[in-house]
Amino acid sequence: MEEEKKLEGHSEENSYIRMKKFKFIMLIFLLVFSTAGITLIALSFGDEKAVSVAIPERKEFSKLYEAYDMLDEKYYEKVDHKKLIDGAIAGMVKALDDPYSDYMTKEENEKFQESISASFQGIGAEIQELNGEIVVVSPIKGSPAEKAGLKPNDKIITVDDKNIQGMSANEAVLLIRGEKGTKVTLGIQRPDNHEIIKMTITRDEIPINTVYPEMLENGVAKIQITTFSKHTYDDLTTALKEMEDKGMKSLIIDLRRNPGGLLDQAIGIANLFVPEGKNIVQVEYRDGTIEKTVAKGGKKINVPTVVLIDKGSASASEILAGAVSETVGIPLIGDKSFGKGTVQTADNFEDGSNVKYTMAKWLTPDGNWIHKKGIEPDYKVSLPEYANLSYIDPDKELKLSSASGEVKSAEEMLKVLGYKPGKIDGFYDTDTEKAVKTFQKDEKLKENGILTGETTVKLMNSLTEHIQKNDSQVKKAIEVISKEK
């Protein structure tokens, strides 16, 4: 490969390559990149004959070859040729200024494939690179990331104190993921808040269970879809059968914090609701060609249905939400969705690396492009402010006379849970200490009035349980669905 690069690099001197004389016969195959694609040229050499072969000149590559040769010959240390090539390709893709297009090395590609398989080890969060920053799209349900309090739109500034600004999403993933039981510390910045929150998360096995059914009161079935992986459609049909056997009279599909996934899975699920012959999604290519995917026949879900969305609902989630909203009029409830209206594909190289790039944009059944705009719900209902309280590091010790933003978060959590921490001002006074002691007593923990370790974890988990029991978006969904029966 190195020799091939050098041969092509001399094309600016002459568009012909003059080969030396050989005393034996040999056959060389050169792969020459042309505007039409890859051309295979066979060169045959014999005894005393010199052969000249024309090669189409690519002047736009001469600068690239020159830079490669310059570094290879003049850099003060020996360079890694593979890294140079990987870097050149990565830079080319980055120049597209598209957060959804990436060059993945073999290692990065393997991590990506893990994320859509049965399980992987890490913290369990979907991230993306946006304007040079690593942003959380959504944590996976039940993952260490969710339990720690990671939220959509959180910016990850550091990983184990290493600044990751300017990194690609794939580079960041390699730093964040790791073996089960190991810890990683993220420096998080929330929207409209310049304070860096240090969040230490213990990595775990992240099962890709994507469908979570439960039967609520009065025959209302709620099924949460957390992402669209290889088995989501099959798991959903199994869950629907389970809910039908339990007397399902109406259905809530929960797509909140679902960052998307495989397009075919979203289309298959949409087909359960969209009438035969109607559009599910339209894909528009760069030449203006539009490819429509229409619903097929087969089993359809006919019970009254609503769909929950929020700012963490992206990509395939938005395809499903847009399809059922525009074709069947299924109400959408919650917050405006994320707004990702493009489709990606990946081409592999022989060494296991690949390029993932945007190859089209997708439109809703009615031809709307929701990219960077999101989908507005029919009923806008947000969770209460306390659902967005900042994470408290369990490794820190908050006690009498402590003062910080984390103390203020703790005071607000205690108040929401029915305790009396006194003034919510970020200062750990005697009222705060008394409230912590009462909380510890109720939870059968050591009553020392210090917020750390198990007490901190239990406080945050109690708040999560409170939010789930008092889910304003689910309550609105039940209200809306009861009127449709």
Give the residue-averaged pLDDT of 132-140: 85
- Beta strands in 3-105, from DSSP E residues, in sequence order: 16-18, 26-34, 37-45, 52-54, 102-104
34 pLDDT more than 60:
no
Q: Using CA atoms, how far apart are residues 193 and 28, in angstroms rounded to an integer?
A: 61
Do 210 and 228 meet the contact criterion of CB atoms below 8 Å apart? yes
User: Which one of 315, 325, 353, 402 is the catalytic residue?
Assistant: 315
120 pLDDT more than 80:
no
Q: Using CA atoms, how far apart are residues 244 and 172, in angstroms rounded to an integer?
A: 42
Beta-strand relationship, 305-309 and 332-334: parallel
* Burial profile 229-241: b = 16 or more Cβ within 10 angstroms, e = fewer: bbbbbebbbebbe
Q: How confident is the model over 403-434, as pLDDT tens digits?
A: 999 999 999 999 999 999 999 999 999 999 99
Q: How confident is the model at residue 20 (pLDDT cuts 50, 70, 90)?
A: very low
9 pLDDT more than 70:
no
DSSP state of 245: H
Q: If 0-12 CB within 10 Å is exposed, 13-18 middle and 19+ buried, where does residue 42 land?
A: exposed
145 pLDDT more than 50:
yes
What pLDDT, on the 0 to 100 scale, is given for residue 483?
Answer: 84
Q: How confident is the model at residue 265 (pLDDT cuts 50, 70, 90)?
A: very high
What pLDDT, on the 0 to 100 scale, is given for residue 31?
Answer: 29
Q: How confident is the model over 335-358, as pLDDT tens digits?
A: 999 999 999 988 989 999 999 999
484 pLDDT more than 80:
no
User: Which one of 151, 222, 340, 476 is the catalytic residue?
Assistant: 340
375 pLDDT more than 50:
yes
Helix-strand-coil percent breakdown of the chain, rounded to 5? 35, 25, 40
What pLDDT, on the 0 to 100 scale, is given for residue 38?
Answer: 36
Q: Using CA atoms, how far apart are residues 216 and 219, in angstroms rounded to an integer?
A: 7
Which DSSP string corresponds to 145-173? HHHHT--TT-EEEEETTEE-TT--HHHHH
Give the residue-averaged pLDDT of 191-198: 82
- Span of 411-415, 442-446, 466-470 with lowest mean pLDDT: 466-470
326 is catalytic: yes
44 pLDDT more than 50:
no
Q: Please, which residues bridge with residue 213 across strands? A: 223
Give the residue-averaged pLDDT of 347-371: 94
Strand order in the sheet with 220-225: 211-215, 220-225, 250-254, 305-309, 332-334, 379-380
What pLDDT, on the 0 to 100 scale, is given for residue 53?
Answer: 45
- Span of 133-142, 256-265, 267-276, 474-483 with lowest mean pLDDT: 133-142
Give the residue-averaged pLDDT of 21-39: 31
DSSP state of 257: T
129 is catalytic: no
What pLDDT, on the 0 to 100 scale, is given for residue 243?
Answer: 97
Q: How confident is the model at residue 275 (pLDDT cuts 50, 70, 90)?
A: very high
Q: How confident is the model at residue 116 (pLDDT cuts 50, 70, 90)?
A: low
| Higher pLDDT, residue 14 or 374 | 374
Measured in degrees and rounded to the nearest 5, phi and psi for residue 375 equal -110, 125
Do 121 and 204 meet the contact criterion of CB atoms below 8 Å apart? yes
What pLDDT, on the 0 to 100 scale, is given for residue 139?
Answer: 85
Q: How confident is the model at residue 58 (pLDDT cuts 50, 70, 90)?
A: confident
Sequence-separated (6 or more) residues with CB below 8 Å from residue 153: 135, 136, 190, 191, 311
Through-space distance between the first and last CA atoms of the chain, rounded to whole angstroms: 67
User: Which one of 326, 406, 412, 433 is the catalytic residue?
Assistant: 326
What pLDDT, on the 0 to 100 scale, is given for residue 23?
Answer: 30
pTM of the complete model:
0.72
Q: Using CA atoms, how far apart are residues 283 and 153, in angstroms rounded to an integer?
A: 27
168 is catalytic: no
Percent of the chain topping pLDDT 90: 61
Q: Using CA atoms, how far apart are residues 71 and 92, in angstroms rounded to an integer?
A: 18
Sequence-separated (6 or more) residues with CB below 8 Å from residue 82: none
* Burial profile 414-449: b = 16 or more Cβ within 10 angstroms, e = fewer: bebbebebbeeebbbbebbbebbbbbbeeeebeeeb
Tell me, rounded to whole angstroms, the distance of Cα 69 from its chain centroid.
37
Give the residue-averaged pLDDT of 279-300: 96
What pLDDT, on the 0 to 100 scale, is given for residue 24?
Answer: 28
Q: How confident is the model over 155-165, as pLDDT tens digits?
A: 999 999 999 98
Tokens of 212: 């979570």
Domains, the chain, ranges and CATH? 2-64 (no CATH), 121-201 (2.30.42.10), 211-384 (3.90.226.10), 386-469 (1.10.101.10)
Tokens of 52: 């000249």
- Span of 186-190, 390-394, 432-436 with lowest mean pLDDT: 390-394
What pLDDT, on the 0 to 100 scale, is given for residue 56?
Answer: 60
What pLDDT, on the 0 to 100 scale, is given for residue 57?
Answer: 66
